[in-house]
Structure 1
Amino acid sequence: MSEQFNKHYEVGQEIGRGRFGTVYRCFSCRTGNSLAVKTIDKSLLADSYDRECVEHEAKLHRIASRENPHVVSLHDSFEDESSIHLVLDLCSGTDLLDRISSDAPLSEPEAAALAAELLEAIASCHRRGVAHRDVKPDNVMFDMNGKLKLADFGSAAWFGGLDGEEKMEGIVGTPYYVAPEVIAGRRYSEKVDVWSAGVVIYMMLSGRAPFDGESAADIFEAVLRGNLRFPTRIFGSVSSMAKDLLRRMISRDVTRRFSAEQALEHPWIVSCGGSKLMV
């Protein structure tokens, strides 16, 4: 760890690993609070694109997490010759993927409550001009109080806010959750996050992904076809309101796809997920 980091924090045990580095528990020397530090090994950054993503991660994460209770907070960042260190909220609970794997299908009230918190996180990011671009259950964490927190801004991009006209490009994300316009190589908007969130909600209600395949290429083909189905044996007891929201979020036509704000106002979210929280 860098000398500056060691002045302020004490490193504990390893709690996770990713493509570019390792996450450790750490402790604030000033407060004693438990936090997490994501240490990114610069030697693992394969090219200039990887380096650019990492350099932008801290800046965009800080913007996205400002006064946003459903985004993992970035408390500090440090850099030395070999590594970049990001000090984050410690999310000691399970992630949403674990919950889906063990409990799916979730009841509609539970799924809607989680969907409302996830959409709050995404809408707040979009109001600040940040697109996450890798919304998936393993990037949705829970803190020790069970509050949902959107994590990992390693693929995030700046698009200039809801009144901006900047489009994004580049194939990023995870096959099951990535929007078709990303796969097609077109320039795209922040609504890619809404598609991904819709896939997450579909999985909460069914325990399966809407677009599947034996390989990444097969999954991409299924996503590009965008043939959204609700098998009766799985969705027979799911309300028409829930399915209506999914159709409006997982829409190939971006002009008809809901924004995160519109999804928050949908009757299924309002009636099942609770009233809208302003962040």
Structure 2
Amino acid sequence: MVLLVPIIGGVVALGLLVWCCVCRRKRSSDDEPTRPPDTSSLDTAAKSLGFLETLLTDDRVLIRRRFDIRDIQFERPLSKGAFGEVWLCTDRQNTMLAVKKLLQHKNDAYKEIKDFIAEIQLTASLDHPHIIRFLGVAWTSMDNLCMALEYLPTGDLLAFLRQNADMLTWVKDKLPMALGVAHALEYLHNRPTPIIHRDVKAKNVLLTEQLQTKLIDFGISRDRTQETMTAGVGTPYWSAPEVLEGNRYTEKSDIYSFGVLLSEIDSAATPYKDVRSPETGEPLRVWQIVSMIVGGSLRPTFSDACPQRIARVAKACLDGDPNVRPSANEVIEMLLGRAVSDQNW
């Protein structure tokens, strides 16, 4: 069930236009200064890829965690995205690993490899029980660069919620899941240089066999000092209004996404799945939903079975003003019922 509030017609076209423009700007300009000159010279290309390899060989952490790619066996694909795929692999001790590698793209390979190296370096720097564990990195050339992560056979949170919706309760099951993600965000946001995940959603949370949640996919994460904290990444329905309007990401953008995640945990469904036009009864298009999110007339809602405390936390996280949203630390206190004051929440 989703609360649908009528909106003025002029706002309707705004959301998708903003989002598309920002995405286009993102694709065309993000990290542009770091790209090599556009040249057909094979020698220049080789030097560029050689520079990328020095990013790995000069990283002491990665060199210590480097393994021989011949020591793993690729068993079967687990998932595939626009630029990369994750495989189930086994090592010589028959330990199962999740190994991420890039797809073999012909266009803009330099940027894709550079971004993947940044993801590897960031993931390797993280150490928290509610964040996926980095195991190692392997390459013989930039064409076969891959990152090994712990394998969690239970799968992602959204699929688990859908398969077990009738058996899960908030107090026993769902609250610990939500707290795990909140603790992961607290860790990221309180590092000496805060990390913004930028794509918090149930599909990016995996579960251990003990149902402990672990945040994954740091491919578009950035530290707060970087100049690439513009919009155009992430997933629209989970993105904060200010991000959809083209403003920079902050920690509070992750908090908004966490509020949407709480609705996924409550309903075992993606947000706005049942939103329809009050005039035609037809499902709304993405740009219409984005417009309503930006305008503040649409937010995920929660079931009657959801505890009021959880609904209050979600409402605070989903506030249109990022300055009013709680921090990750405050979210944890609110989820546990230990918040000293609800302030404006």
Aligned partner letter, 1:53: D
Per-residue deviation, residues 151-189 of structure 1 (Å, max 9, x unmatched): 1111111115xxxx9882131111221111111111231
Given that residues 132 and 216 in structure 2 are in contact (C-alpha distance below 8 angstroms), is that contact kept between their aligned partners in structure 1?
Answer: yes
Deviation at 1:123, TM superposition (A): 1.1
Aligned twin of 1:249: 317
Q: What is the rounded CA distance, in whole Å, between the counterparts of 2:287 and 2:132 in structure 1? A: 32
User: Equivalent of 2:130, from 70, 73, 78?
Assistant: 70
Give the TM-score normalised by structure 2: 0.67
Q: Cα deviations across residues 192-231 of structure 1 (Å, max 9, x unaligned)?
A: 1111111011122234555556333123112212335676
Preserved CA contact (<8 Å) 1:104 1:205: no
What residue identity is the alignment partner of 2:217?
Answer: D
Query: What secondary structure, in the 3-state scheme, does the structure 2 residue paired with 1:87 have?
Result: strand
The one of 86, 92, 112 aligned to 2:147: 86
For structure 2, the residue ranges without an aligned partner over 5 or more in a row are 1-65, 276-282, 339-345
Decide whether aligned partners of structure 1 residues 26 and 230 sit closer, same or farther in structure 2, where only a CA change above 3 A counts. Answer: closer
Give, as a single letter, the amino acid of the residue that structure 2 aligns with 1:244: R
1:40 aligned to 2:106? no
Q: 2:233 aligns with which of 172, 179, 184?
A: 172
Structure 1: gaps of 5 or more residues: 273-279
User: Separation in 2 of the partners of 1:7 and 1:207?
Assistant: 40
Higher relative contact order (CA 8 A, sep 6+): 2
Q: Partner of 1:130 in structure 2? A: 195
Query: TM-score, normalization: structure 1?
Result: 0.81
Change (3 A) 1:41 1:257: same
Deviations along 1:235-278, whole A, 9 cap, x unmatched? 33433222211111111111110111110111xx2159xxxxxx
Q: 1:7 to 1:51 in 2, by over 3 A?
A: closer
The letter for the 2-side match of 1:62 is A
Aligned amino acid, residue 138 of structure 1: K
Structure 1 residue 52: deviation in Å? 4.6
Alignment partner for residue 216 of structure 1, among 286, 297, 305?
286
Take 2:329 and 2:227, find their aligned partners in 1: how far apart are those partners? Answer: 19
Instruction: Give the direction of change, closer, same or farther, for the CA distance of 1:123–1:113 in structure 2 (3 Å limit).
Output: same
Q: 1:195 aligns with which of 242, 256, 259?
A: 256
Greater gyration radius: 2
- Percent of aligned pairs with the same amino acid: 25
- 1:170–1:256 Cα change, 3 Å: same
Judge conservation of contact 1:78–1:85 (CA < 8 Å) in 2: yes
Q: Residue 115 of structure 2: SS of its match in structure 1? A: helix
The answer to whether the 8 Å contact 1:41/1:82 transfers is no
